[in-house]
């Protein structure tokens, strides 16, 4: 029984003995369970089922960072020792620890039971991914515009991998995406074992077995050579695009001959260039699943809006926009947290009767306020860029005040524009950029949206 548990826990992971014992024994590990599991691992290693290696060699074997000397003696081995700072958030590993790993057990084939059907363009995207897997490519880009229905395009690939009795990993930079995506995958593959992994889970949850895993990119550090297919969703989003250790973790988690699929609505310039030069196989789904064009943002002059805001006034153009959409919901993006309250007060003063509130990443009532907006109890939600992705509200109009701020990059503006017109019932949303000078990022964002509309016609 214990042997089965240990192998299920390893399941493509690389774990220290401490992680294993804590997770398997639950709570504070007993000396006996520690000794017993160590013995068992040594036996399994001798049988060639488990691989054991020093956690820290020249570099850390978990994250690739250079180790740091521990001040004084090590609490674990009692000698001079070093530890890794790079992956400290996953628990400290020292030079006196080992990482154990075992191949994932064979997965059961599980059919996709999703009842919908893919559009022709979605089908092309889905087919390209299955082809990349069959042809044993190492990388593939899926450039799917906001609202293209990218999750459904992944289903045929997931089904193909499960049919080969292998596990699949979908990684994403953000925890809320894991929480949103995992139930959708679970519903589409009811016969498969699906698990979600992100920071802050209990030790025993961290070693849950799975055929399909959805995890934050950080969690990839726990896996090695584990997946024939690794799908990275929103590959362009912070912090993945910025963090070299996470890129290393991704290449480490996938099998040596495995396929990494990059999924994004806004690929970085590097990815776009690689695709253009033919170095990175790419498929573009430039149209939403309902078939309508992406809404093209319109520019509106806002003048010195910050000066007006000090007097609790808004640019005339913005007031007109809010009046025009009085009976609809509006997402209003501002550059900084400090702009939220003045804008909210000005809206309340100038447009009495409009229910308005604000959110930012540190807002304690963030979840409640977004929920109230979803429930149509709020008309105007003033927000920082935290809501640029992921949020889908039927018939929402979007506005950006102060697009000249550096935080509004081309990517951010395309994502913001992508919030509008997503539903087949209301496919044409209004997107307005209020500015005190157009930036090249904003001009490029509009040009990219126009080009995608043209090319997918
Ligand atoms: Zn490390
Ligand atoms: Zn030590």
pLDDT tens sequence across 75-109? 899 999 999 998 988 889 999 999 999 988 788 88
Among all bound ligands, the one having the nearest atom to the CA of 14 is 1
Number of H helices, E strands in the chain: 15, 18
- Give the whole-angstrom CA distance, residue 410 versus residue 230: 27
304/439 same-domain check: yes
Among all bound ligands, the one having the nearest atom to the CA of 66 is 1
271/328 same-domain check: no
Do residues 90 and 62 touch, judged by C-beta distance below 8 A?
yes
Do residues 106 and 8 touch, judged by C-beta distance below 8 A?
no
- Determine the distance separating the centroid of ligand 2 and the alpha carbon of 58, expressed in angstroms: 15
For residue 302, the domain's CATH number is: 3.40.50.300
Does residue 262 lie within any of the structural domains? yes
148/233 same-domain check: yes
- Give the whole-angstrom CA distance, residue 431 versus residue 427: 12
Among all bound ligands, the one having the nearest atom to the CA of 62 is 1
Cis omega (within 30 of 0) on the bond before 399?
no
390/317 same-domain check: yes
Residue 43: what are its φ and ψ, rounded to 5°? -60, -50
Does residue 109 lie within any of the structural domains? no
215/344 same-domain check: no
Token output for 135? 């042809």
- Determine the distance separating the centroid of ligand 1 and the alpha carbon of 92, expressed in angstroms: 8
Per-residue pLDDT at 238: 58
User: Each residue of 274-287: pLDDT tens digit?
Assistant: 999 999 999 999 99
* pLDDT value at 412 more than 90: yes
Among all bound ligands, the one having the nearest atom to the CA of 89 is 1
Nearest Cα to Cα of residue 432 among 449, 413, 448, 447: 413
Do residues 221 and 99 touch, judged by C-beta distance below 8 A?
no
The C-alpha angle 420, 425, 427, rounded to 5 degrees, equals 35
Q: Give the pLDDT band of residue 451 (cuts 50, 70, 90).
A: very high
Per-residue pLDDT at 27: 60
| Strand order, beta sheet including 431-435 | 298-301, 431-435, 396-401, 329-333, 380-383, 356-359
Helix or strand holding residue 8 (H, E): helix 2-10
Alpha carbon separation from 113 to 19, 121, 160, 352 (Å, rounded):
36, 21, 14, 49
| Host domain of residue 444 | 298-455
Does residue 409 lie within any of the structural domains? yes
Per-residue pLDDT at 106: 81
* pLDDT value at 239 more than 60: no
- Give the whole-angstrom CA distance, residue 19 versus residue 16: 5
If you average pLDDT over residues 336-342, what whole number do you get?
Answer: 96
Among all bound ligands, the one having the nearest atom to the CA of 67 is 1
- Give the whole-angstrom CA distance, residue 83 versus residue 246: 19
* pLDDT value at 241 more than 80: no
- Determine the distance separating the centroid of ligand 1 and the alpha carbon of 221, expressed in angstroms: 9
Do residues 17 and 98 touch, judged by C-beta distance below 8 A?
yes
Mean pLDDT of the chain: 92
Last residue of a domain, one of 245, 260, 285: 285
Does residue 169 lie within any of the structural domains? yes
Among all bound ligands, the one having the nearest atom to the CA of 70 is 2
Provide the number of structural domains found in the chain.
3
244/351 same-domain check: no
- Give the whole-angstrom CA distance, residue 30 versus residue 411: 51
- Determine the distance separating the centroid of ligand 1 and the alpha carbon of 243, expressed in angstroms: 14
* pLDDT value at 425 more than 90: yes
- Determine the distance separating the centroid of ligand 2 and the alpha carbon of 55, expressed in angstroms: 11
Per-residue pLDDT at 201: 81
Among all bound ligands, the one having the nearest atom to the CA of 94 is 2
- Determine the distance separating the centroid of ligand 2 and the alpha carbon of 251, expressed in angstroms: 28
- Determine the distance separating the centroid of ligand 2 and the alpha carbon of 53, expressed in angstroms: 15
- Determine the distance separating the centroid of ligand 2 and the alpha carbon of 169, expressed in angstroms: 33
Does residue 367 lie within any of the structural domains? yes
164/280 same-domain check: yes
Does residue 290 lie within any of the structural domains? no
User: Each residue of 297-329: pLDDT tens digit?
Assistant: 999 999 999 999 999 999 999 999 999 999 999
Q: Is the dihedral of CA 208, 211, 216, 222 positive or negative?
A: positive
Do residues 339 and 405 touch, judged by C-beta distance below 8 A?
no
Last residue of a domain, one of 45, 72, 101: 101
144/97 same-domain check: no
52/150 same-domain check: no
Does residue 86 lie within any of the structural domains? yes
**How many residues in total does the chain contain?**
457
- Determine the distance separating the centroid of ligand 1 and the alpha carbon of 43, expressed in angstroms: 27
- Determine the distance separating the centroid of ligand 2 and the alpha carbon of 94, expressed in angstroms: 5
- Give the whole-angstrom CA distance, residue 7 versus residue 282: 37
211/72 same-domain check: no
- Determine the distance separating the centroid of ligand 1 and the alpha carbon of 172, expressed in angstroms: 20
Alpha carbon separation from 266 to 225, 421, 448 (Å, rounded):
28, 18, 10
217/340 same-domain check: no
Among all bound ligands, the one having the nearest atom to the CA of 87 is 1
- Determine the distance separating the centroid of ligand 2 and the alpha carbon of 60, expressed in angstroms: 14
Per-residue pLDDT at 255: 93
- Give the whole-angstrom CA distance, residue 311 versus residue 379: 23
If you average pLDDT over residues 203-230, what whole number do you get?
Answer: 91
- Determine the distance separating the centroid of ligand 2 and the alpha carbon of 312, expressed in angstroms: 61
303/410 same-domain check: yes
Burial class (CB in 10 A: 0-12, 13-18, 19+), 257: exposed
Does residue 114 lie within any of the structural domains? no
Last residue of a domain, one of 101, 130, 149: 101
Burial 318-344 (b: 16+ CB within 10 A, else e): beebbeebeeebbbbbbbeeebbebbb
* Listed residues: CB within 5 A of ion ligand 2: 74, 76-77, 81, 94, 96
If you average pLDDT over residues 69-80, what whole number do you get?
Answer: 93
- Give the whole-angstrom CA distance, residue 220 versus residue 350: 49
Report the percentage of the chain scoring pLDDT > 90: 75
Name the residue with tokens 């007060």: 345
Among all bound ligands, the one having the nearest atom to the CA of 249 is 1
- Determine the distance separating the centroid of ligand 1 and the alpha carbon of 81, expressed in angstroms: 14
- Determine the distance separating the centroid of ligand 2 and the alpha carbon of 68, expressed in angstroms: 12
- Determine the distance separating the centroid of ligand 2 and the alpha carbon of 17, expressed in angstroms: 13
* pLDDT value at 197 more than 90: yes
* Listed residues: CB within 5 A of ion ligand 1: 60, 62-63, 65, 84, 86-87
Helix or strand holding residue 339 (H, E): helix 337-350
């Amino acid at each position: 029984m214990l042997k089965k548990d240990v192998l299920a826990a390893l399941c493509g992971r690389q774990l220290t003995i401490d992680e294993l014992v804590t997770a398997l024994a639950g709570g504070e590990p007993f000396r006996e369970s520690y000794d017993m599991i160590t013995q068992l691992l040594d036996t399994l290693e001798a049988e060639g089922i488990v691989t054991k290696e020093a956690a820290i060699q020249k570099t850390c074997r978990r994250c690739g960072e250079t180790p740091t000397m521990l001040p004084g003696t090590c609490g674990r081995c009692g000698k001079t020792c070093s530890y890794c700072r790079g992956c400290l958030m996953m628990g400290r590993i020292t030079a006196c620890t080992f990482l154990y790993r075992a191949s994932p057990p064979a997965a059961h084939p599980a059919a996709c039971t999703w009842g919908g059907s893919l559009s022709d363009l979605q089908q092309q995207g889905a087919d390209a991914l299955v082809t990349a897997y069959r042809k044993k490519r190492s990388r593939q880009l899926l450039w799917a515009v906001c609202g293209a229905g990218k999750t459904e395009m992944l289903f045929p690939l997931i089904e193909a991998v499960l049919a080969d009795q292998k596990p699949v990993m979908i990684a994403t930079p953000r925890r809320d995406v894991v929480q949103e995506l995992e139930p959708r995958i679970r519903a589409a593959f009811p016969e498969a074992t699906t698990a979600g992994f992100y920071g802050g889970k209990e030790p025993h949850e961290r070693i849950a077995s799975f055929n399909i895993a959805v995890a934050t990119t950080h969690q990839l550090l726990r896996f090695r050579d584990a997946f024939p297919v690794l799908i990275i969703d929103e590959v362009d989003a912070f912090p993945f695009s910025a963090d070299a250790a996470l890129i290393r973790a991704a290449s480490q988690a996938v099998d040596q001959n495995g396929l990494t699929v990059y999924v994004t609505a806004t690929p970085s310039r590097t990815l776009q260039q690689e695709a253009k030069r033919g170095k990175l196989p790419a498929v573009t789904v430039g149209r939403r699943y309902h078939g309508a064009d992406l809404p093209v943002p319109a520019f509106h002059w806002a003048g010195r809006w910050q000066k007006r805001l000090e007097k609790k006034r808004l640019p005339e153009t913005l007031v007109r926009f809010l009046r025009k959409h009085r009976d609809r919901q509006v997402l209003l993006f501002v550059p900084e947290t400090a702009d939220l309250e003045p804008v909210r007060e000005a809206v309340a003063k100038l447009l009495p009767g409009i229910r308005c509130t604000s959110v930012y990443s540190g807002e304690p009532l963030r979840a409640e306020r977004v929920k109230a907006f979803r429930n149509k109890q709020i008309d105007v939600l003033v927000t920082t860029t935290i809501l640029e992705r992921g949020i889908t509200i039927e018939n929402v109009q979007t506005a950006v005040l102060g697009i000249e701020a550096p935080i509004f990059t081309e990517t951010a503006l395309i994502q913001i524009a992508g919030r509008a017109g997503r539903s087949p019932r209301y496919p044409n949303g209004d997107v307005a950029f209020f500015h005190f000078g157009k930036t090249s990022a904003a001009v490029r964002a509009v040009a990219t949206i126009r080009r995608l509309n043209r090319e997918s016609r």
